[in-house]
Structure 1
Amino acid sequence: MKHLAWFKSVYAILRIPFTVYYKVFHNYRYKKYKPENKPFIVLANHNSDGDQFMVGMAIKGHMFFVASEHIVRSGFGGKLVRFLANPIIRKKGAEAKSTINEIHRRLKEGTNVCMFVEGNRSFNGQTGWISPANGTLIKNSNASLITFRLDGGYFRTPRWAEYARKGPEFGYVVNEYSQDKLKSMSEDEITKVIREDLNTNAFEWQKKHPHRYKGKNLAENLETVLFICPKCKAIDKLKSKGDMFSCTCGFCVRINDYCCFEPQSDDSFDFVNVYDWDMWQRDYIKENLENFRTAYVDKPILKHPGQTLNRINITKSADMINTGVMELYSDRLTITSTDLAKQNVFFLSDISGFSVTKKMTIFFSTKDGGYYEIKSDMVRTGVGYLMLYRYLTDRDYV
C-alpha cells in the first residue's frame, strides 16, 4: 500500500500519548495482546467515541479502522484524520458494499483492520444487532479474526448523556480465530461466535462489577433515547434537568451514580434502568402499531423545530437543502421551512436505510440514491424517529 510506512509511523507515535491519556483520565484497564496470526481483523463492541484508541492500545500491531463518513467530512479535522490514519469509510444509514470491498482490499495487501461491528454505539447498554453479513465478510477475508470486548464505557460516557462520568473502563481480547479455524466454519457459525463473544448488557455486567460512575447532571439529554412516558403514555413529553427525568403529567425519576432510576413521584415504576425502559417503549409501539398507522396520517407522531436537512456527498461538505420543522407521520417524513415556502417530503416506503449518529443526528438514504443528514438545534430524540421508521415499515428495531 502507498504510504503504509507513514501510517504505521503515525500510529506508533500517537499510541504513546493516547495510552497515557486513557490510562490517567479514563481509568482504562486493559490486557495487552499480541496476535498469533496476520493479517487479522478485529471486531469489537462500541460504547464510546474513544473505543478505537482503547482497542489500539491493547492489541499490538498497526490497524486501519472503519469510520463513519461524517468524521472525514468535518472540515480540517476530517482532512487530518485522512492524512494521519486513512480510515475505511462507512456511510451511516446506507448500504455497506463499498466498505466491505475496501476491507477486503486492505486485508489482501497484508494490513490489519478494526471494525466496531454494531455500526453504532449502544443507546441502552445492550450490544446491538450484529448482521450475518459480518460472518460472510470474515469467511471471505483470508484473515484471522480477533474479538475484543469493551466494558464500562457505557456508564462513563452514556451515548445520550451531556456530561461524562468518572469511572473505570475495561478492554480485553475474547478470542482469536485462525484462518484455518475459520475455513472449517460456516458463515452462520462465524456470525454465532461473533455475537456470543461480543454480546454484553452493561447493566448485567454492572451487577457483577458494581462500580460507581459519578458526575454532574446525570439525566441531562436522556430524552434523546427515552421518549414515551410509562405513566400517561405521552410521546415526546419527557424532559431532563440535572439528575431528574420527568413528564408533564407529573411522573418523575432520578438517575443515580449506577445509571439506575430512583422514583421521585408516588407512581408505580417497574424499570430499574435505561435498558428496561427502552425495551418497554419498543413493546408499546409494537403493541399499538395499528393505531400509529391509522391515527397519525394527518397529524405528526413526532414534531421538532430547528432542524436542518443536508444532502451529503461522500467525503465532501454537505449541501443544505432546507431548515425548519421536521415531522414524522405514519407514512412520511417531512421538513417544512420556517416561512412555509418549502417542504421536502420523504415517504417511508422510499427510504432504504435509516440511522442515528452521536446523540440525535439522523442519516438516511433513499431508493433513488439520495443520502441525507438531519441536524438539530434543539435536544430531541433521534432514536424515536429511527424506531418508528423501522416499525412502521415492518422492520424490526434491533
Structure 2
Amino acid sequence: MSIKNSVIDRLIKIYINRKINYKVDFGDLNPNREDTYILLGNNSSLLNSFYVSNLLKNKPIVVLNELQKTNRFANYFFANYDFWLFKRNLDFDTVLVKNIHNSLEKNPVLIFPEVETSFFGEVQDIPKSIAKLIKKEKKDVILCQINGSYLSHPRWGLKNTKKGLVEFNFKTILTKYEIENTKLDEIYEIVKDNLKYNDYDWNSKHKHFYNPKNRALGLEGYLYICPKCMKSQTLSTKKNDIYCSQCGHIASFDDFSLINGLDFDNLVSWDQLQKKELPKLSKEVIYSEGSMFSLNPKSMELSSLGHADLEIIRGQLFVLNKMKEYMFEIDKIKGLSLIRRNELFFRYGKKSYLFKLKDPMIIFDGISYTLKNSKKSI
C-alpha cells in the first residue's frame, strides 16, 4: 500500500471508531486471508463500503455507482484513494466486468448487489447479473451480513446516531468448487436468500440503544403519506417527532429507533402503505421543488440550471426553471436513481440530469410507478 493510501486508511479508521460501535464475527473467513474472493455486503448504508473494507488485511476493491462522483468532496477522495471500481449507470457494464476480473488477480472485490442503498431499512432489488459474474469468475463467495448500519445512519437522516451498534457477520455462501456445478438460477437464489435483512426486525428482537436525539429530521423527504388521514405531502419533523399538518403529532421514535404512535413500528411498513397510494396519486399532480443540474457523464461535473419546480402529470414530468420549461415523457426516462439523501438522477435522450429535491421520494416513486406500468402495457 502506498504512503498516501496508508494515511487515508488511518483517517478512515479514526472516523469509523468515532462514528460507530461495532462487533465482528468472521465465521469461517480468515481476516488475514491472502488469496482473492468475491465479497458481498448489504447495501443498508452509504458508509458500509468504508466499514467492511477496513476489517480485512487484504483490502478489497470496492464497486460503487459512478454517480457518487458527482459530489466534489467524494470525487476528490476517490481520486486519491486507489481501492475503487465504478459502475456506470447502464443496464450492463462490460467495462466493469473486465475491471472486476483484473482486480481479482490481486485483491478481493467487495460488491453491494442491491440496485439502491436501502431507503427504509430492508433489502432492495438484486439484479440477476450478480449470478453471472459469480459463475464466470469461479471464486469463493463470502457474505458480510450487516445489522444496525441503517439504524445508525439512515440515508434520509439529517442528524445521524453517534456510536450506534453495527454488527458484521462473515460466512462463505459458495465455494469455487460448488460454483462449477451450480446453475445460474440456484446461484442467484443463494445470493438473494443470504442478503436478506431488515434492521427493524433485527432490533425489535435485540433492543439495542440508538441515541434518538433528532432522529426524525429529514424523514419528511422520504415519507409522503400520513397513515392517519391518508393525505399526501402533509408531514414534517422535529427532533424525534413526526407531525401532519392535518392531524398534528402522529408518531415519534423511541430509544431503539422504532416508531411509537401508529399501528406499525417501522418505516418498512410505512413505505408499503404509501406505495399502495401510488395508483391514486398518479391521477393527481405530484409536486416538488429543488435545484436542477445537467451532468457531463465523462467528467461527472454538474452545471447548475437553477431553481426548479417539478410536477408529474398524466405520465409526464414537467420541470420549470428561470430559463425554460422542460417536458419529459416518463416512459422514455432511463437510469433513474436516487443517490445520497435527496439527489434524483436520470438520462433522457443523450442528456443526463440531476435534481436536489425537497421531496425526493414522492418524485422517485411517482416516476418509478409510471415506468413500471408503461412496461406492463407494452
Partner of 2:330 in structure 1?
Answer: 348
Pick aligned residue for 2:353 from 372, 377, 387: 372
Distance 1:382 1:197 in 2: 30
Q: CA deviation at 1:278?
A: 0.9
* Pair 110,46 (structure 1): closer, same or farther in 2 beyond 3 Å: same
Distance, in Å, in 2 between the alignment partners of 1:28 and 1:57 is 12
CA distance in 1 between partners of 2:369 and 2:70 (Å): 31
- Say which SS state the counterpart of residue 318 (structure 1) adopts: strand
Candidates 119, 122, 142, aligned match of 2:138: 142
The residue number in structure 2 matching 1:313 is 297
1:266 is matched with which residue? none
The aligned residue for residue 58 of structure 2 is 61
Inter-partner Cα distance in structure 2 for 1:25 and 1:59: 19
Tell me the amino acid that sits aligned with residue 278 of structure 1. D
**Two-structure CA RMSD over aligned residues (Å):** 2.5
1:157 and 2:153 are equivalent in the alignment? yes
Q: CA deviation at 1:125?
A: 0.9
Match status 1:382 vs 2:360: yes
Q: Which residue is 1:29 aligned to?
A: 23
Deviation at 1:337, TM superposition (A): 1.2
Task: Determine if the alignment matches structure 1 residue 240 to structure 2 residue 240.
Answer: no
**Distance in 2 separating the partners of 1:12 and 1:182:** 35
Aligned to 2:263: 270
2:289 and 2:362 mapped to 1: Cα distance?
Answer: 15
Pick from 237, 255, 258 the counterpart of residue 256 of structure 2. 258
1:392 matched to 2:370? The reply is yes
Residues 111-149 of structure 1 deviation map (CA, whole Å, 9 limit, x = unaligned): 321111114321111111111111112111232211111
CA distance in 2, matches of 1:90, 1:54: 20
Q: 1: CA distance between counterparts of 2:34 and 2:7?
A: 23
Alpha-carbon separation, structure 1, partners of 2:372 and 2:144: 33
Q: Choose from 181, 192, 213 the match for 2:210.
A: 213
Matching residue within 275, 287, 308 for 1:282: 275
Cα distance change, pair 280–176 in 1 and its aligned pair in 2 (3 A): same
Q: Distance in 2 between matches of 1:63 and 1:198?
A: 19
Instruction: Report if aligned partners of 2:294, 2:351 keep a CA contact under 8 Å in 1.
Output: no
Instruction: Measure how far apart 1:160 and its partner are.
Output: 1.3
Q: Deviations over 1:132-188 (max 9, x none)?
A: 111112111232211111111111112211111132111121325222211111111
Deviations 1:235-282 (A, max 9, x none): 21111122221111114212222222222xxxxx32222111111111
The one-letter amino acid of 1:314's match is K
Change (3 A) 1:257 1:145: same
Correspondence list, 1:154-233, <5 A: 154-166=150-162, 167-233=164-230
Q: CA deviation at 1:230?
A: 1.8
CA contact (8 A) 1:103 1:113 kept: no
Q: Which amino acid aligns with 2:222?
A: V
Q: Which amino acid aligns with 2:275?
A: R
Deviates more, 1:233-242 or 1:36-45: 36-45
Note the C-alpha offset of 1:10.
Answer: 5.3
Change (3 A) 1:283 1:174: farther
CA distance in structure 1 between the partners assigned to 2:92 and 2:307 by the alignment: 29
**C-alpha distance after superposition, 1:58-110 (max 9, x if no partner):** 23312211123233344465144223225211245x43414543444424644
TM-score normalised over the length of structure 1: 0.84
Question: CA, structure 1 residues 135+181, in 2 after alignment: closer, same or farther (shift >3 Å)?
Answer: same
- What amino acid does structure 1 have at the position aligned with 2:266? N
| Structure 1: distance between partners of 2:202 and 2:340 | 24
**Percent of paired sites with the same residue:** 21
User: Unpaired segments of 5 or more residues in structure 1?
Assistant: 264-268
1:50 to 36, 43, 47: 47
**TM-score, normalization by structure 2:** 0.88
Structure 2: distance between partners of 1:57 and 1:254: 35
Unmatched 5+ stretches in structure 2: none
Structure 2 equivalent of residue 114 of structure 1: 110
